[in-house]
Every structure is written in structure tokens, then in C-alpha cells.
């Protein structure tokens, strides 16, 4: 019987689907599986020493950097174990990860490949497929051995209440090819669904373990709107008291606006949407598929429907100007979005990872430095030193505010003061209205 240790380093305060799903496949095949979520528990050295395979989930940039730091310790504890990296950031960083000692690298639909590896096949090894987009017949995730749902980030409600949050995925990949998106180099415009009965069984099991809210981690919940609505309608019928949140592109929110009322009726508390910028030039370079006016139309649409929009942004890019950043803050105030935006979103800096479609643009290739393997990105500096200084000051304000648990409005007011050189006046002070949000903010 193969002994497998699945490791997660960081998944934004969520109980990791990326461990629970492959654990189910491996246990079904007879493997002895231990799941370790190092964001919530220490590394258990005994199980690492006994492992035949150690597989680390790398779904995002931060998780990959943390995983890289972990490898020397794993190698010291068990030099004979085979090491695999799997997830979205694995294939685009294949060369770097193999340099760290990876025996296998898997991306895309990784469960079948991981099961095959443990079973003795060559998937993801040198000479085997690294990225698979094969349609899989999923099995319900097995969350046995993971920290309790109550140990993860909770949902904060406007009335001060809190709910335990579960996490699942109804689809992966994306139909769209935004230039800055890390999904694109792996899925190249494709998306794959998790069968509805599997997603619903996963939700059912998490509700039984105390979840009162479900986060759907799909990159875009409306890549397959019929599939998505089938799942949330069934969720609401079976668990009418359970709420949920989803992520949907601005473009899809407008195209499928007729479905938004149904989201609200079935318990959707908020929709995360990657607005990224209010600058049409930047949106065009990112190939986002929407304009500033489109984003503002969505804001108004949500206000009319009584739905909460949680926009995300990349405010610092090579094309950001001081005036543009000031206008960004002004529009958040004018649109009543200050409380809707996690403070970290005011400080996000454009990341250019390997494989990014941004590198197709000559102006981007001209401005980036050599690839930084430690940072797992192509570094860049703004040609205007004042923008670089503003970015650093905003980052410091946001992190200091989060450490002292300041409110979103308080942190925003400090960022405004940094950007404008003067405080917010009473006429433009942000609303004190609170919205539902997850305690651990989105990050990359």
C-alpha cells in the first residue's frame, strides 16, 4: 500500500479542495493518505518520514513560493520519497520546481494523473504529460483528516454574526484568455465541470460538518451558467438556510443579467468580480473584455437588485498614473464601493508570472527584467518613481491597518490621505454600511 502525504501551504483561509479531491481518488485506489494543511497545522514529521509520495498543491503564486521554501525540510526528513507538485502554478513553473527536486509536475485536471503516478504510471514525470485537460469523472472529495471547517476563515455578516464556511468547486479553467490571468497558460480558454452530483455531495458533507455558507471557487461561475444554476438551485432546495458566494466576470454579469435575481433568491450573499481597473487603456491591455462603463453598469445593476458586489482590482500596473490612482479611489467613493473592497485590493501590484500572455506585448517585454526564479515572476518597475513610492506607501498603510484590525473605511481613508495628500472631507466620506465578507481577504 502506497503512503501518500498531500500538502497545502496556503489557500486563502479555505479548507483545501485541492487536497480533499485527490485524497478521495487515492483512497479509492487503496493508498494510505495523510492531508496536511500547513496554514492551519504544523508539519507532522513522522508521516513525512514514512511517505512514499509527497505531493504539494500549488494553486497560486503565494502557495508556490511557500512550497519552495518547504522542500529542503521535506528532503531532509525523507530523501527517498518521490516529490510531486500539482495545481495551477505547477506546469508554468515546471523548470524551477524540477530544479528543486520534483519527480513529477501536474497541472490542469490533476486527480487522475496523481492517482496514476502513485499507481506506478509516468504521468507528470519527465516524458509524461504535465498538463491534462481530459474530462474527468469526479468522486466526492474526502476531507477526513483535515482541520475542522470551524478552524478556517469565517463569513462576517452585517448584523455582526459569523458563519462557518465550506468551499467547493463546480468547474475549473475559463473560457476567456485575459492576458494577466494565471489560468490561461494552463487551460488556454477551456473549462471543465465537476459533475453536479459530486459538487452537491461535497456541499452536503460540509453542511453536516457545520458549514452555514459555501464559497464556490470556480474561476468564473458563469462559464457554464446552466450547470451553475442547476447546482445552486439544488443547494437551496436541500439547504435553504445555507448561503453562498461565487466569482463571475463583469462581461458575464451583463450577458447573464437575467440570472442575477435567481442568485439572490437561492442564497447568494455576494459576487466577487475581477474589475481590475477603471482605466479603459489598462483594461484593453489586460484583454478583460469589459470597459469602465460596463463595470459601473454592473455596480448599478447590483444596487437595483439588492445584491452585494465584491470587486477586485490590480491598481498598480506599469500604466498607472498618480492621477489615475486618485480617480480610482474617487470612483470607489462615488460608487459606494468602499466597504465592498478588501483593503489589500487597494495595494495589489500587477504580477507577471511565467507563461503570462502579457509577455506577448512588446511594451511589456521591453519593461520587464530577467525572470526571477525566487519571486516566480518577471519583475518590473514603473518609469515614474512617484508611482513606485505610492505603491509602497499604500502597501504599508494597508498592512498596518490590517494588523491593528482597522475597518475597511478607516484603512481607505488613510490610503486616500496618502494618495491625495489631504484627508477625506465629510462630503466624500465613505458609507458606514457593512456588507457580508470572508474574514481572510482574497490574495494571489
pLDDT tens by residue, 209-234:
999 999 999 999 999 999 999 999 99
Q: Are strands 82-86 and 104-108 parallel, antiparallel or unpaired?
A: parallel
Across the range 343-358, mean pLDDT stands at: 95
Mean pLDDT value of segment 61-87: 97
| 385-403 vs 322-334: helix crossing angle, rounded to 10 | 40
Buried b (16+ CB within 10 A) or exposed e, 181-190: bbbbbbbeee
In this structure, are residues 148 and 58 in contact, taking their beta carbons and an 8 Å threshold? no
* Cell of residue 171, nine digits: 468547474
Look at residue 124 in the predicted model and tell me its pLDDT.
53
What pLDDT is stored for residue 442 in this prediction? 60
Q: What is the pLDDT of residue 123?
A: 56
- For residue 442, the tally of other CB atoms under 10 A from its CB is 17
**What's the Cα-to-Cα distance from 225 to each of 170, 339, 402, rounded to whole Å?**
11, 28, 36
Statement: residue 115 has pLDDT above 70: yes
Q: Which residues contact 84 (CB under 8 A, 6 or more apart)?
A: 53, 54, 55, 56, 102, 103, 104, 105, 106, 114, 117, 124
340: nearest Cα among 437, 260, 423:
437
Residue 309 vs residues 185, 209, 261, 302: alpha-carbon distances, Å: 28, 28, 13, 7
Task: Single out the residue of 265, 263, 212, 277 nearest to residue 239, CA to CA.
Answer: 212
The predicted pLDDT at position 437 comes to: 92
Tell me the pTM: 0.95
42: three-class secondary structure by DSSP: coil
Distance, CA of 18 to CA of 122 (rounded, Å):
21
How many CB atoms sit inside 10 A of residue 214's CB? 26
* pLDDT tens-digit map of 146-187: 999 999 999 999 999 999 999 999 999 999 999 999 999 999
Residue 311 CB partners (closer than 8 Å, separation 6+): 272, 273, 274, 275, 295, 299, 337, 340, 341, 345
> Which pLDDT score, from 0 to 100, does residue 425 have?
78
Q: Identify the band that residue 444 occupies on the pLDDT scale cut at 50, 70 and 90.
A: low
Q: Which of 29-38, 57-66, 185-194, 422-431 has the lowest average pLDDT?
A: 422-431
The Cα 105–Cα 127 span in angstroms is 11
Q: pLDDT confidence of 440, banded at 50, 70, 90?
A: confident
Of 176-190, 193-207, 330-344, 421-435, the one with minimum mean pLDDT is: 421-435
User: Mean pLDDT over all residues of the chain?
Assistant: 94
Amino acid at each position: 500500500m502506497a503512503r501518500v502525504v498531500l500538502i497545502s501551504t496556503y489557500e486563502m483561509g479555505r479548507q483545501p479542495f485541492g487536497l480533499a479531491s485527490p485524497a478521495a481518488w487515492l483512497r479509492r485506489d487503496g493508498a494510505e493518505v495523510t492531508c496536511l494543511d500547513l496554514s492551519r497545522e504544523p508539519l507532522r514529521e513522522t508521516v513525512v518520514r514514512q511517505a512514499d509520495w509527497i505531493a504539494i498543491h500549488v494553486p497560486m503564486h503565494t502557495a508556490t513560493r511557500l512550497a519552495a521554501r518547504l522542500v529542503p525540510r521535506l528532503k531532509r526528513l525523507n530523501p527517498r520519497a518521490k516529490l510531486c507538485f500539482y495545481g495551477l502554478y505547477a506546469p508554468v513553473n515546471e523548470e524551477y520546481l524540477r530544479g528543486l527536486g520534483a519527480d513529477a509536475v501536474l497541472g490542469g485536471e490533476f486527480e487522475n494523473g496523481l492517482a496514476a503516478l502513485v499507481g506506478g504510471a509516468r504521468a507528470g514525470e519527465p516524458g509524461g504529460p504535465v498538463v491534462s485537460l481530459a474530462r474527468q469523472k469526479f468522486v466526492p472529495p474526502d476531507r477526513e483528516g483535515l482541520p475542522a471547517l470551524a478552524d478556517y476563515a469565517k463569513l462576517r455578516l452585517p448584523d455582526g454574526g459569523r458563519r462557518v464556511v465550506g468551499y467547493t468547486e463546480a468547474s475549473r479553467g475559463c473560457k476567456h484568455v485575459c492576458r494577466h490571468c494565471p489560468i490561461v497558460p494552463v487551460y488556454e480558454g477551456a473549462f471543465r465541470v465537476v459533475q453536479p452530483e459530486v459538487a452537491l455531495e461535497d456541499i452536503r458533507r460540509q453542511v453536516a460538518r457545520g458549514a452555514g455558507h459555501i464559497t464556490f471557487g470556480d474561476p468564473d461561475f458563469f462559464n457554464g451558467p446552466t450547470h451553475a444554476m442547476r447546482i445552486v438551485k439544488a443547494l437551496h432546495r436541500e439547504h435553504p438556510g445555507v448561503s453562498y458566494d461565487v466569482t463571475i466576470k463583469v462581461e458575464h454579469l451583463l450577458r447573464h443579467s437575467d440570472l442575477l435575481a435567481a442568485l439572490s433568491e437561492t442564497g447568494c450573499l455576494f459576487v466577487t468580480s475581477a474589475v481590475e481597473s477603471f482605466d479603459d487603456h489598462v483594461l484593453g491591455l489586460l484583454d478583460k473584455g469589459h470597459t469602465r462603463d460596463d463595470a459601473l453598469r454592473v455596480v448599478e445593476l447590483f444596487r437595483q437588485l439588492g445584491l452585494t458586489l465584491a470587486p477586485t482590482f490590480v491598481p498598480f500596473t506599469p500604466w498607472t498614473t498618480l492621477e489615475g490612482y486618485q480617480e480610482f479611489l474617487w470612483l470607489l467613493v462615488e460608487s459606494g464601493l468602499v466597504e465592498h473592497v478588501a483593503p489589500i485590493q487597494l495595494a495589489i501590484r500587477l504580477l507577471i508570472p511565467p507563461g503570462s500572455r502579457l509577455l506577448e506585448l512588446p511594451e511589456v517585454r521591453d519593461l520587464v527584467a530577467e525572470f526571477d526564479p525566487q519571486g516566480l515572476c518577471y519583475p518590473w518597475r514603473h518609469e515614474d518613481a512617484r508611482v513606485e513610492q505610492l505603491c509602497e506607501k499604500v502597501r504599508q498603510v494597508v498592512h498596518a491597518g490590517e494588523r491593528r484590525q482597522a475597518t475597511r473605511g478607516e484603512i481607505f481613508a488613510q490610503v486616500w490621505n496618502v494618495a491625495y495628500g489631504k484627508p477625506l472631507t465629510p462630503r466624500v466620506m465613505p458609507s458606514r454600511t457593512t456588507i457580508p465578507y470572508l474574514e481572510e481577504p482574497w490574495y494571489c
